[in-house]
Amino acid sequence: METFLAPAKINLCLHVLGRRENGYHDLAMLMQRVSLYDRIGISLIEGSAIRVHCGGVVLPSGQQNIAARAAEALFEQAGIRQGLEIAIEKHIPVAAGLGGGSSDAATVLMALNDMLGLDFTPDQLMKVGVKLGADVPFFIFKHPAWATGIGDKLEEVKGLPPVWYVLVNPGLEVSTAWVYQNLRLTTPRDNLRIPRFSGTLDEVVALLYNDLEAVTAERFPLVGEVKQQLIDLGAAGALMSGSGSTVFGVFSDEDRARAAVEKLSVRPGWRAFAVAPVDD
């Protein structure tokens, strides 16, 4: 069995620009992968069955699992059939605004492309991935990105500083669909542009914004409490990622981030992680 790493992501900013007739929303957001990983084991087996195992976490099984659907979609595109065993070791909290399922799906697409010598380009894999979820192409893109459309139109962002983040998940699972259904859109904005950076922490903090945070925090006030805890422990800024409930704080260095994790981890039900940006 070959093993692959599937990183989490955070949204440094997330603007909801409007709602489409098909129910999707137009977005403008800055996304960055971080060093919290699911581990994906993949084995090629006889036959054509695709089996997914994820010990200790309740996830959709069989063909309903996004990792299995990713494999099926790739095989359909390639015109082949292949049996698979996929073992997912979850470390990224589920339904937490960190893109764990999308990252798992993207990792399966890229891994199988290499294992089977299919020679699909990243752009071709991204076209397969967007049918599985709007965040999947971002994980195939492999760089910090300014994402527009439904999140699938990506431009690389350079110059982000080497900060550290502390992710705190307070043990709440939040439905992305519920958050968007309860979002009250304000005046549409069409003047947002891809941000430019010269490499300072203050530039990142100034950018922090999430239209979805107010919706989730109203239903789950614990989100606001987590933000304040991070600020009290030295974060230069804090924000909810995606639709929540994970909140991240921006720290200037690893030592401060790990010191904050040590204090936050004593809270019952809270999971805290010190992570660095991933760009490769």
Query: Is 227 a catalytic site residue?
Result: no
Cβ atoms of 15 and 212 within 8 Å: the answer is no
9, 104, 152, 227: the active-site residue: 9
38, 104, 135, 211: the active-site residue: 135
Render 201-240 in DSSP notation, one character per residue.
HHHHHHH-EETTHHHHHHH-THHHHHHHHHHHTT-SEEEE
Tally the C-alpha atoms within 13 A of residue 135's C-alpha that lie toward its C-beta: 27
Query: Is 255 a catalytic site residue?
Result: no
Cβ atoms of 167 and 36 within 8 Å: the answer is yes
Peptide bond just before 245 cis, omega within 30 deg: yes
- 72 by DSSP, 3-state: which? helix
Q: What backbone torsions phi and psi does residue 133 show, to the nearest 5 degrees?
A: 175, 145
Task: Give the span between the Cα atoms of 200 and 91, in whole angstroms.
Answer: 30
Residues β-bridged to residue 26: 18
CA distances from 252 to 24, 31, 36, 263, 274 (A): 36, 19, 18, 17, 12
Just list the catalytic residues.
Answer: 9, 135
